[in-house]
Amino acid sequence: MSTPKKLTTNDFINSPAVIQNLRQLTDAFGEGGRNLIISDVLDQAGHQYVNLVQKGGGVLGIALIGYTYTLEQMGIRFLRLAGTSAGAINTAMLAIVGEKEEAKSIKVLEAVADLELPELLDGHPVARWLTKQFIATKGFLNKLKAVWLGVCIFYTLLLVTTFICLWLLPHNQPMVEVTQTLVVVLLVATGFLGAFVYYITRLLKRLKSSGYGINPGTFFYDWIKSLMQQNGVDSIDDLVKKATQPVPGLHLRTNNPRGIVQLEPDVTFIASELITENKIEFPRMCNLFRPPGRLNELHPAGLVRASMSIPLLFESYFIYGIPQNDPTIQKAWLDAFGETIPPVEARFVDGGILSNFPISIFYNPAIEVPRLPVFGIDLNDTAPSDKSKQAASWTFAGYLFRIFNTARNYYDKDFQLKNKVYSKGIGTILLPEFNWLDFFLTDTEKQALFEKGVEAATLFLLQFDWEGYKKDRSFMRVALKEDKK
């Protein structure tokens, strides 16, 4: 029996849909986007630079790669990077691979193509089976409920029938045999039911002790750590050095009062810290957990693992042994959050709980005329049936999705409403036919996700107006100054 052929980068980038979209961009802007103007910040090779924010969205992160691949094919590079969860994974890869001026999405795609997504679910086999059934089987919860109800009805009828035979019916020879049989069946059923309840209780205790996650997340941690090591990143210092490497020949296309001052690269991963209930920006806030000189006790793979810790699906990520009596740690917590007593440990879940699309991180009210835009990649997998404003038409999954999305998107949405010009830099990848937790995607579905990202980036670039963006950004600052008077 032959081994199934694994997807390669060529399978993704040479698909007819990808080629067609790139040809459309080439026809509009020339080869490599030579006639495209989206920023006033360039390097010595003529690449244009933007700040990039990537939204979280589970396995939908494959679409993010399609989007960044398209931007890079059009000569766009990324100065500052930020992301949450799946967005943090792609952000990390773009930060550590190669040099700033290089196109990187192909290498990111290669790493993801080699990854078997189900292996990320490294928990108990029952947990993996339940996750797959919940995603792949329509109405699985209702079927599970029906099975459990059937078991309860069967056990109740067996118990009642046995009681009647033992105490209410005559004890002649035939009935004694029937009763004995029923008693044996009842004892066996009780044993199985008791074992099942005991097993579920053990699983629930294990769930609590493991940080309320059914998967340890160890496979992902080892995977991203290996990729970092392959790219020369073994410590926080290495990550920062890679992310902040200067861009050769960085200059402006037009005059700007600020010149190239503060046009410095960096990277940010968003995580939610539960003990102190704060949003953490890694690696900038690593000083909350280790004093100077000890930062490299934390591995950068853990920062990304903290950002993608989807509640219940993955265990919380912990940082233990915070030296809370160290004056530098105390000052860091006081300055950052007003905390007078630092915690002794930190517990992280998915950064999307607090900020799934952290575009506000690049907001600078001091900028009068922007030198480069803030680009954002939005992932939207809301099904049409769940977009309705008529609550009665929502599916149960849509109802839960609404609750979760309200909590995780409100802060970012509020920022965009108050700073509408930033929406002009956001491209949305519409993915209603995909489930962000489907770790059992087929190869065809993976390719379709990548193609959706390419398509969304193409549409965005064809519509983006850099001069209009600059004017709107300047008007926004004037309006903010007037509001303060």
As annotated, the active-site residues are 85, 350
List all residues 6 or more positions away from 231 whose beta carbon is below 8 Å from its beta carbon: 96, 97, 98, 242
Taking each helix axis as running N to C, give the angle between helix 236-243 and helix 86-96, from 0 to 180 degrees, rounded to the nearest 10: 80
Choose among 347, 349, 313: nearest CA to 213: 313
CA angle 46, 51, 52 (to 5 degrees): 115
* Three-state SS annotation for the chain: CCCCCCCCHHHHHCCHHHHHHHHHHHHHHCHHHCCCCCCCEECCCCCEEEEEEECCCHHHHHHHHHHHHHHHHCCEEEEEEEEECHHHHHHHHHHHCCCCCCCCHHHHHHHHHCCCHHHHCCCCHHHHHHHHHHHHCCCHHHHHHHHHHHHHHHHHHHHHHHHHHHHCCCCCHHHHHHHHHHHHHHHHHHHHHHHHHHHHHHHHHHHHHCCCEEECCHHHHHHHHHHHHHCCCCCHHHHHHHHCCCCCCCEECCCCCCCCCCCCCEEEEEEEECCCCEEEEECHHHHHCCCCCCHHHCCHHHHHHHHCCCCEEECCEEECCCCCCCHHHHHHHHHHHCCCCCCCCEEEEECHHHHCCCHHHHCCCCCCCCCCCEEEEEEECCCHHHCCCCHHHCCHHHHHHHHHHHHHHHHHHHHHHHCHHHHHHEEEEECCCCCCCCCCCCHHHHHHHHHHHHHHHHHHHHHCCHHHHHHHHHHHHHHHHHHHC
CA pair distance 185, 426, nearest whole angstrom = 64
CA pair distance 454, 450, nearest whole angstrom = 6
Choose among 370, 374, 376: nearest CA to 477: 370
CA pair distance 398, 384, nearest whole angstrom = 10
